[in-house]
Structure 1
Amino acid sequence: MLHQIIVLVMMLSPCGETDAQNKKVVKKAIVVKQVSPLFVGNYEGINNAKAISINLKADGAKVSGSLMMNGESAKISGIASKNIASGKIIEDISGKVYAFNAERKSNTLFFSITFPEYNNQVVKMELTKINALNTAILTKQRDSRLFGTWRNTEVISSGSGEFYSSFSTDYFLTLNADGSAFAWSGKSAGGTKDVMVDANGNGKAQKMEWYTQGKSLFFVDTLSKKQSSVTFYAEPARMMLSTNNSKKVYHRMK
């Protein structure tokens, strides 16, 4: 009997060790999200004398962000596959929804919006990816009354009678909430009683950064970081920028 017990113990012992040795460690699978970094970043451009800026981020194949055009903002959401993305744009104020398509090539973002209220007209834009704004600028204060796109019309006249001539030029300024700013010239028109001139602006915008301190508006060159300032006075529909030599009144476009 004892012999049988000893034999039984000897038979069971290896089995116990084998079971312990054969225990498998189950590891949880790690799922890695495939982010679409190609679209991530800030993009800027000009379309029909209007400054446009787009900020995009990615979460897996999903892309989202914001669009600022002509002083109005909208939210972007869509799906990206390689260098192609599509989805919808929702205006912040009106809530209107539009479809968009985008393609990224090198540092250029080709972006198009379909407007159903205009018989599905497609507006195409070309934007360039920019470097992140200076961190110091992002932390500066900016008076929210200045956000938007403004227009100043400068009129120059001379002479009198048959020698009288007049010439006017539109100047535009966009001040975004993120600290970016754009300035460009628009349409020019004028002449004498015999000659008339009517020309469009070149559409090239000067990129700057901006912030406010008290009643002073500071502009910062994005490359040299040199600053210049003007005194501002702001109302809902207009603002005045003043220096020691001039005063210019800007009217809100929308």
Structure 2
Amino acid sequence: MNRFYVPGTNIRKGEIMIDGEEAHHMMDVIRLQDGDKVVIFDGTGNEYTGFIKKTGRRPRRVIVEIVRTERPSVESIPKVTLAQAIPRKGKMDYIVEKATELGVFRLIPLVSERTVVRPDAAGCRRKTGRWRKIAIETSKQCGRSSIPVVDEITGFGEIARQIDQYDLALLAGFMHNAVSIKESLAGFRTGDILVFIGPEGDFSPEEIRMADRDNCRFVSLGSRILKSDTAGLFVLSAVDYEFSL
């Protein structure tokens, strides 16, 4: 069934008003018509089933009459925030897409001491806008009812200062005292998890020192060396396996 995203502000009194790119996609690409059944989600966990009541072309607008509202249980528990150092060659697009499919709750594009990609202010706005759009489109495709939050590009130090706000933090790297993900999750049942993934050159000694808190565990990703764009997805998959499968 066709599935579309609409912000909650467009939903009121039993009807949904769809405009902009989504209306164009519905009317001109898929060519839906009055009476067709659709599923709408608002990005905050609500999903609506309804029928197209009316369409208009100037401006393009679709009105859907709601017949059922629900909150599907498709989101991951615990909530995982991925602080991912930005890799080179546009690989962050892929990470956002796959992290969304794997149930990430929040994604923080990270600039660490050894991160090569350092966009200027205009570049940051452009990249963040694209990543948020990817998160929306991927949520539509994979059946999520909540869209992951994609933060502005942020420095490592600022996120390190937020570690105490989480129930558990995992920092992946080559530290001598790193433990397996399975061991790091032993005894952890519920709460919010923050995952740090560094650049190809790993985190610096100073960054590791900044992250060394009581609730932060240094984790190894096994005997093979993973690229940065693989590492975050590996951790998300491992956490999902431990708690969801």
Task: Give the TM-score range, shorter chain.
Answer: under 0.3
**Could you say which structure has the larger radius of gyration?**
1
TM-score (norm 2): 0.25
**Higher normalized strand content (fraction of residues):** 1
Q: Which has the higher contact order (CA 8 A, sep 6+)?
A: 2
TM-score (norm 1): 0.24
